[in-house]
Structure 1
Amino acid sequence: MFQKWLKRKLGLADGKFPDAAWLIHLAYIRLIGFTFAAIGWILCLTAMGVVEWRVWYLMPGTSTEKIRIGIWGVCFMEPTPDGDSRKQCLEFLDEHLSLPNEIFLAQDLMSLICIFVLWKLFHKGRPKNVLLIFFWVGGTLNLLSGFTILIPLLWKMYSVLVNDSIHFPNYFQLPVLPYEQNAGFAIYVGISASGFQLTSSILILSEKCWFSECKRNN
């Protein structure tokens, strides 16, 4: 009974059934591909929420010597009257038109990818041929997700390399250019997320060839 059900799901003809070792191998590859996609989603979500895409260092001796810039806002340590300091975070809003387009693009793309990958992980379709649909659609969408994540990341990395400026709203009272700037933690997390998504797509799409060969041989 189980073999009949599995043959129907695999799309194999009656009387033709792949050996158990191949099915176990296929199950492991599918599980690894799913796991990598899940890790990629977690890392993408982490990168989106971390306020450290670009790190600015100001001239020594200024009241604020280090600024962390994310895609949703900017954070820095602000001195207090008692000589101590406290963390101050300011949010980026849609009406802040002076901000570079890369910030709003990163907001849209990272949010879209996180929602898209989450939907893909938990969406339960009922296609006629489950595995072929998984190979083609799942692998292709993972590949698309991996490359899409790279767009805001590479743009941010380029801005750091050319020491690009940011015209913050006037009430932020922050400089346009830093003394020095580096790529933040979020960029490396995002690149790792892209790597997991791309690896997941390679695993899934490579198995499609094995599956097609098995159908021909059986």
Structure 2
Amino acid sequence: MAFFIDPNCQVVSFVLNTLGWMFSMICMGLAKWRLWYMESISAPSQGLACIGMWKLCTYQSANHHSRPIACHRYTYSDTYLPLDIRIAQNLLLAASLLGLLGKVLMVTGLRRVYAGQLQKDTTCNLFFASGVLSIVAGAFILIAVIWNYHSVMNEEGIHFPPSFQIPFRPDRQEIGSTVPVAVLAAFLMLLSGLLTISFQQPPNIEVYPEVSQV
């Protein structure tokens, strides 16, 4: 079956995909996925710890807008990281790669459309594959967000090295400001993928009414 491709709609999907991919890259580098408040602990551990997927930053006071005292970056060889952070790292990396691949496929499809080299089967397959990759990437980001939320709500602790001077579990913890960015990234990626697929609609078939003979 032949499909009708609206290039303008696909451009909208491309813009949404690009924004979602950019936000996903930003949230990977931020540390404020979890906020640990250490109020009843004696110095130097007292203060605030911002825990991200790839680094940890500590602050002397509960004001996380001040300059951090120290930041520690994680590596794959760090055995102290809990399972949820390890899986979230892989999910976010996979989401960034899938989102980038989806962008490449979408650009290839758009270039064929605007260049007049429209082979409907091939071009539609490019857009469909791009949409699927965007949906999978958005789902991966959403899983990382949900798992992070679950860990905070359950007040799970982390065995950081003694050199970090961070306790196993803080006095209280809450969701950080990076989570809304990740949610926005997941939403844009999912929306882009769904729109990319839904824009490939069968052409409208004109139906002519039958004229009865008198």
1:122 aligns with 2:71: no
Q: 1:33 and 1:200 mapped to 2: Cα distance?
A: 5
Segments of structure 1 that go 5 or more residues without pairing to the other structure are 1-10, 13-17, 80-84
Check whether the contact 1:75–1:90 (CA below 8 A) recurs between aligned residues: yes
Check whether the contact 2:31–2:54 (CA below 8 A) recurs between aligned residues: yes
Q: 1:159 to 1:200 in 2, by over 3 A?
A: same
Q: 1:97 to 1:33 in 2, by over 3 A?
A: same
Choose which of 181, 186, 192 in structure 2 pairs with 1:189. Answer: 181
Corresponding residue of 1:95: 77
1:113 aligns with 2:95: yes
Corresponding residue of 1:206: 198
Identity of aligned residues (%): 26
Corresponding residue of 2:138: 146
**What amino acid is the match of 1:105?**
I
Check whether the contact 1:96–1:169 (CA below 8 A) recurs between aligned residues: no
Q: 1:61 and 1:149 mapped to 2: Cα distance?
A: 34
Alpha-carbon displacement from aligned partner over 1:8-48 (angstroms, at most 9, x marks no partner): xxx68xxxxx8xxxx7xx22211111100000000000100
Q: 2:162 and 2:15 mapped to 1: Cα distance?
A: 45
Choose which of 39, 44, 48 in structure 1 pairs with 2:28. Answer: 48
Return 196-205 or 48-57, whichever deviates more.
Answer: 196-205
Segments of structure 2 that go 5 or more residues without pairing to the other structure are 62-66, 113-117, 207-214
Check whether the contact 1:78–1:88 (CA below 8 A) recurs between aligned residues: no
Q: How far apart are residue 87 of structure 1 and its match?
A: 2.0
Q: 1:27 and 1:91 mapped to 2: Cα distance?
A: 43
Choose which of 10, 13, 17 in structure 2 pairs with 1:37. Answer: 17
Return 187-196 or 141-150, whichever deviates more.
Answer: 141-150
Q: How far apart are residue 66 of structure 1 and its match?
A: 0.6
Q: How far apart are residue 213 of structure 1 and its match?
A: 3.0
**What amino acid is the match of 2:90?**
D
Check whether the contact 2:101–2:130 (CA below 8 A) recurs between aligned residues: no
- Considering fraction of residues, name the structure with more helix: 1
Q: How far apart are residue 60 of structure 1 and its match?
A: 4.8
Alpha-carbon displacement from aligned partner over 1:89-142 (angstroms, at most 9, x marks no partner): 112233321220111112222122112212321343779434411442122221
Check whether the contact 1:38–1:121 (CA below 8 A) recurs between aligned residues: yes
**Equivalent residues in 2 for 1:174-185, closer than 5 Å:** 174-185=166-177
Q: 1:114 and 1:190 mapped to 2: Cα distance?
A: 12
TM-score, with length taken from structure 2: 0.78
Q: 2:68 and 2:12 mapped to 1: Cα distance?
A: 44
Q: 1:176 to 1:61 in 2, by over 3 A?
A: closer
TM-score, with length taken from structure 1: 0.77
**What amino acid is the match of 1:167?**
H
Task: Calculate the aligned-residue CA RMSD, in Å.
Answer: 2.7
